[in-house]
Amino acid sequence: MPLKRIAALAALALALTACTGNTPQNSGGGNQGGVKVANDEPGKKVVIGFSAPAADHGWMAAITNAAKAEAGKYSDVELRVVEGTNDVNLQISQVETFINDKVDAIVLLPFDGAALTPVALKAMKAGITVINVDRQFDSPFAARSTVLGDNHGMGVSAGNYICERLKGKTDAVVAEIAGIDSLPLTQDRSKGFAEALASCGLKVGNRVAAEFTVESGEKAAANLLQAARKIDAIWNHDDDQGVGVTAAIKNSGRNEFFMVGGAGSANVMREIKADNGPHKATVIYPSTQGADGIRLARLAVQGKSLGDLVEVEVPREVQLYAPVVTKDNVDRYLPTAFES
């Protein structure tokens, strides 16, 4: 008993320190970010199945790693991770296996939201709590709760930052290097970007699309630099493909423009901090969504509420913010950034 009391006191102390400042903490127990202590106390055991696309770029690898780390913090969570695949047929069968296993919850980042909707509906019908992460299903009944980044907001943030920096220069050439064009998330980002630019009289002069991988980023950027003789600003949707984009820019020897990244990788943030490359800013797309999904799944199954909210149940949707990281505030975001 005394042990338990000490643990509770320690947890309380941690929670108090977490509440005293607004600086995010990236270490410590499961109660960072101001969640009520009661929520972290072990409850009913929760078996969570986790499935995501193949970890073929840093952000996606970070999603699974953060989810595993989060589950490891709770003694009452048993996480079953099936490692990623980009074959929707195989991912569907992974979810079917979770249903057969009668897990309590499934945290699912689908390769294609629409394609995984039928099997997610099946899981919900079987009484399993499905938490949808990042790529949305096309039926509201397919998930108990959804954790989303703000793709549209990323575009808006990037566009607004570029407007601010190019103030007054209405003939500026703005280029865009998108991610996988077939994904709705890419379309949302581009839409937000175009809208924000339009608000200050700019538009996207050149647009190319890559596939989130370093190789595709290099190829797309090399083509873009050939196509546009003079550029003032580039927004690159994704910092993983950004490694390739930066390589292509270095090879071309061009430096007349500045670049804004996307997703928020640690190496881009270090570049911003050192101010020694084309990146002057990046827009965050949190790689901790999977970890948030794990937390929500646990709370929903145990019937707990989301601390700090008055609401009794876990919300239907949680949308994360897309802040702009610049040299001024980079230290705040670097600790939770992912390595590409």
Partner 1 sequence: MSEDTAAVAAQKRERSPAVRQSGASGLLGSAAGRNAGLVVALVLLCIGGVVTAGDRFADVDNLLTILRLAAVIGVVSVGMTFVITGGGIDLSVGAIVALSSVWATTLATQGIANNTHWIVIVFTALVVGGACGLVNGVLIAYGRVVAFIATLASLAAARGLAEIISNRKTQIVNVPGFAAFFDASVLGVPVLVVIFALVAAGGWVLLNRTTFGRRTFAVGGNPEAARLAGIDVRRHTVWLYTLLGLCCGLAAVMLVARTTTGSATHGGLYELDAIAAVVIGGTLLTGGRGTIAGTVFGVLIFTTLSNVFTLNNLSISAQAVAKGAIIVVAVLLQQRLARRT
- Which tokens is 193 given? 């970007």
Helix (H, G, I), strand (E, B) or coil at 232: coil
Candidates 81-89, 191-199, 240-248, 294-302 — which segment interacts with partner 1 by CB under 8 A? 81-89
Q: From CA 311, how far away is CA 308, in angstroms rounded?
A: 9
Q: Which is nearer to partner 1, 17 or 86 (CB)?
A: 86
Candidates 32-40, 178-186, 189-197, 253-261 — which segment interacts with partner 1 by CB under 8 A? 178-186
| Residue 182 in the binding site for partner 1 (CB under 8 A) | yes
Q: Which of 90, 198, 227, 274 binds partner 1 (CB under 8 A)?
A: 90
Helix (H, G, I), strand (E, B) or coil at 110: coil
Q: From CA 240, how far away is CA 60, in angstroms rounded?
A: 10
- Which tokens is 68 given? 């595993």
321's enclosing H/E stretch is: none
Amino acid, single-letter form, for residue 209: A
Q: Which is nearer to partner 1, 93 or 199 (CB)?
A: 93
- Which tokens is 75 given? 């003694």
| Residue 65 in the binding site for partner 1 (CB under 8 A) | no
Q: Which of 41, 76, 112, 313 binds partner 1 (CB under 8 A)?
A: 112
CA 217 to chain centre: 19
Minimum separation from the CB atom of position 40 to partner 1 (A): 25
Q: Which of 8, 38, 82, 247 binds partner 1 (CB under 8 A)?
A: 82
Residues 131-160 contacting partner 1, CB under 8 A: 138
| Residue 56 in the binding site for partner 1 (CB under 8 A) | no
Q: Let me know: does 217 contact 181? Beta carbons within 8 Å.
A: no
Spatial strand order in the sheet of 46-51: 77-82, 46-51, 105-108, 129-133, 145-148, 317-319
Total residue count of the chain as it appears in this document: 340
Minimum separation from the CB atom of position 84 to partner 1 (A): 6
Q: Which of 8, 38, 114, 320 binds partner 1 (CB under 8 A)?
A: 114
Minimum separation from the CB atom of position 152 to partner 1 (A): 17
> Residues in the site for partner 1, rule: CB under 8 A?
54, 80-90, 92-94, 96-97, 99-101, 111-118, 138, 180-182, 184, 187
